Amino acid sequence: MQTQIQHAIQDDYADDYAWCYGCGRLNEHGYHLRTGWAGDNTVTYYEPRPAHTAIPGFVYGGLIASIIDCHGTGSAALALHRKNGHEPGDGVEPPRFVTASLKTDFLKPTPEKAILKAVGTVEEIHSKKWVVHTELYANDTLCAKGEVVAAVMPSTFTQKK
Amino acid sequence: MQTQIQHAIQDDYADDYAWCYGCGRLNEHGYHLRTGWAGDNTVTYYEPRPAHTAIPGFVYGGLIASIIDCHGTGSAALALHRKNGHEPGDGVEPPRFVTASLKTDFLKPTPEKAILKAVGTVEEIHSKKWVVHTELYANDTLCAKGEVVAAVMPSTFTQKK
């Protein structure tokens, strides 16, 4: 099974916006989630840390929600970037999204010691707002479904410190 | 402002179920979220770590979803425990819930360097299923709203390793 993204949208975020605990490449403590295209779908992989327990043997739901969250904003960024004529790795800074809402349905207990795979389908609902529907798999078993409404980052977020 | 829970439901979870990254007292890497009653509401406090960044200056949404998640299962456990005639600290092991679904609406950017306060109202929808409506505040500003459907832990979770 492929478990690596070659060209991830997060690789191209501007340095100022690359500190997210979930998907910021510059956050040394974070998860470093990376999201890329797989045909018309988006994909993110993550191998939970041993501490990411819910009940021993199963992955903690907050981590799953976190993956769906950053996968959602990354997927929306991929989609708008493509709409604008760009792909990750082409040297153009992509748009950056924030999460307006995040919904996770936990369908089955998610087993530990598996690489999780989030697969997204992206739908534009407004020029600055996208919905990302995500299925999260462990060992090819669908364990959770998610829906993120992602909005282009508003100016309140972009004031530099 | 009060920022500590005296009697938290998580203090009374059985050891086997006290390893959650969000709220398990035995998980050395986790958040150690603790949820208690404040009148008829439930309350959880958490001070984000410096790494829990979204964009510099603001808290990462996955953490907020995680707080709402464990606050939700803890609140449902508090409510069923009370319905059964018990309160945290009375020496009786409480019921343990899992999350069926988790919804978070991000209303405003959540500032860093504030103690977050989740306030829940609990509603029984079935003898084994509760809905917890949560408001999450930073410095008395409502930053997010959440809804958790929590179900009494099914037997698939309770197989001991």
ipTM over 0.90: yes
Task: Classify residue A114 as exposed, middle or buried by CB count within 10 Å of its CB (0-12, 13-18, 19+).
Answer: middle
Smallest CA–CA distance, residue B140 to chain A, in Å, is: 19
**Residue among A53, A141, A153 with most chain B CBs within 10 A, to mutate:** A53
Interchain pair A158, B53: CB under 8 A: no
Place of tokens 């917890």: B132
Q: Give whole-number Cα distances, B104 to A43, A60, A142, in Å.
A: 22, 17, 22
At A15-51, the pLDDT tens digits run: 999 999 999 999 999 999 999 999 999 999 999 999 9
Predicted TM-score of the model (pTM): 0.96
The token duo for A70 is: 């950053």
Smallest CA–CA distance, residue B64 to chain A, in Å, is: 9
Of B17, B29, B65, the CB nearest to A69: B65
Question: What whole-number distance in Å separates Cα of residue A109 and Cα of residue A91?
Answer: 40
Enter the DSSP assignment of B111: B
At B80-89, the pLDDT tens digits run: 999 999 999 9
Q: Give whole-number Cα distances, A104 to A54, A133, A150, B128, in Å.
A: 16, 10, 14, 20
What is the pLDDT at residue A16?
Answer: 92
